[in-house]
Structure 1
Amino acid sequence: MNTNLKRDRYSIIVYPSPLIRYYIKGLKNILAKRVGWYSSRNSEAHITILEFDAFESELAMAIRYTKLFCYAQKQFHVSFDKIVNSHINTCVFALPDESSKPNLNKVLKMFRKNFKGINVKFGTNAHISIARNMNDKQLNSVDNIFDEIDLNFECDTIAIRKLNSMKGQFEVIYQFNFLGYPPIEGQLDLFE
């Protein structure tokens, strides 16, 4: 008998290509050499759509919803061209260029629209976090080490991650590719 009465924490993300994940890991390594440890140090590159809590039985609905969403979603090209050191938000992140931003934010908004879950927390506008919860000294020491970037990839995958409480990190447990098929009538209405 399963005595786990606590819901697990999950996140649903846009999952960039392995090459982009490797590149962001390199930026994180450069940053760590400059400032030491920081939040998100070991997190793989991703664009957060949302986070939620669920029992395993409730997770099945999130998996089904994600599969149906990806079934009808067409892949598209995105570019990230800017790194921001935000003293207000105490973080460093990459931003999509002006032509990619509307498409990425549209996908995030469409996915969030019908998603139902427990303790759902929506991400913000599309970005790739490099570091979070940095102190002023750390942020001041990274000003101007990252200028412009030129990241290009096909936005074609959504992943579901589960929080590994021992590591304090989310780990990918499912991946779904955008298939671009015509939507099945009412397919996402099931979740409203």
Structure 2
Amino acid sequence: MQQYSIVLSPPEPVLEQVKQWKRSLRAAIGCWYKSVNALAHITFNEFKAGEERLAVWKAYLAAFTAMQHTLYLRFGSTGSFANGAFYLAPDAASESVLIAMMKDFHARAPERASVTITTPHMTIGRGLDAGQLAIAKTLIPAADIRFTCEDLVLRRFNPDRKQYDIYKRFSFGLNR
């Protein structure tokens, strides 16, 4: 069994901007933190699968994405969760579109995943204490990130790097 996740992955300029914020936060708090090395993404779910179950998920992803349109997204603010996660939050219009897509995705999924996400966000850091969260909020008080997404990405956990690697992209079929 291997660990997988399904995500929306922003384009390279957004990945680079978020990477820079993560580096700045690490320098400001003076230590490593969870998610510091993870590429920016919007998680839909995580699951474990062997080859047979993975084939079912791939077939589902192909069918689901065939019926999706390009997403035009804007992340315009930051926020935090009680568990110490600091994140970029979508604006109201993007949040509405993402929540609808996530609910549809989870409702039709071939099986329940070990982790399902219904609150769209892009994590900057996880497991931060109150002081570190305060630093993050000062360092990155707001954002204006705009981008398009044209696919869902299946990622596989790499135990050597302790990060997810892109395994396969599933393009939205109603893009044009």
Q: Does 1:101 align with 2:95?
A: yes
How many residues matched? 174
Opposite residue 14 of structure 1, the aligned amino acid is L
Structure 2's unaligned 5+ residue stretches are: none
CA contact (8 A) 1:53 1:118 kept: no
The equivalent of 2:136 in structure 1 is 142
The equivalent of 2:39 in structure 1 is 44
TM-score w.r.t. the length of structure 1 is 0.85
Structure 1's unaligned 5+ residue stretches are: 1-6, 182-192
Q: Does 1:180 align with 2:158?
A: no
List aligned pairs for 1:147-162, cutoff 5 A: 147-162=141-156
Larger radius of gyration: 1
The equivalent of 1:185 in structure 2 is none
Q: Does 1:54 align with 2:49?
A: yes
Per the TM alignment, residue 127 of structure 1 is displaced from its structure 2 partner at its CA by 0.4
Q: Does 1:21 align with 2:15?
A: yes
Per the TM alignment, residue 118 of structure 1 is displaced from its structure 2 partner at its CA by 6.4
Opposite residue 146 of structure 1, the aligned amino acid is I
**What is the RMSD of the two structures over their aligned residues, measured on CA atoms?**
1.6
The equivalent of 1:78 in structure 2 is 73
CA contact (8 A) 2:99 2:118 kept: no
TM-score w.r.t. the length of structure 2 is 0.92
CA contact (8 A) 1:52 1:117 kept: no
Distance 2:63 2:71 in 1: 18
Per the TM alignment, residue 21 of structure 1 is displaced from its structure 2 partner at its CA by 1.1
Distance 1:76 1:163 in 2: 26
